[in-house]
Amino acid sequence: MGTPARFARRGHGRALLADVLRRGKLEGVSIGLLGATPAGKPLYDATGWTTLEGWRLFLSSERRQWATAGAGS
C-alpha cells in the first residue's frame, strides 16, 4: 500500500492496515509477512509488527515507476 505525499499523515494507511488485519482475523489468518519501505516502517512498528529480517530490494528503472508516480503532484 502507499499513500501519496499530499495525503500523508492523515491516518489512511493505518485505517487500511487495520481493516486488512481485521478481515484476515475473521478468515482465520494467524501469521503475516509484511515488506516495508523506510517510509512505512514506523506505521508497522507502531501497530505491533516486529522485524525478523532485513532484505534489500533491487529494481530496474522501469520497475521504480511505482515509487516516483505522482512525484511533485
Per-residue pLDDT of the chain (73 residues; tens, 9 = 90+): 778 888 888 999 899 999 999 999 999 999 888 888 888 899 999 999 999 888 887 777 665 555 554 444 4
Give the whole-angstrom CA distance, residue 34 versus residue 41: 10
pTM of the model: 0.65
* Confidence (pLDDT) at 67: 53
What is the per-residue pLDDT for 73? 42
Q: What sections of 1-73 are H helices per DSSP?
A: 12-26, 41-46, 65-68
Cell of 21: 488485519
Residue 71: the pLDDT is 47
Q: What per-residue confidence (pLDDT) applies to 45?
A: 93
Burial of 52 (0-12, 13-18, 19+ CB in 10 A): exposed
Q: 7 phi and psi, to 5 degrees?
A: -110, 5
Domain ranges of the chain: 5-68
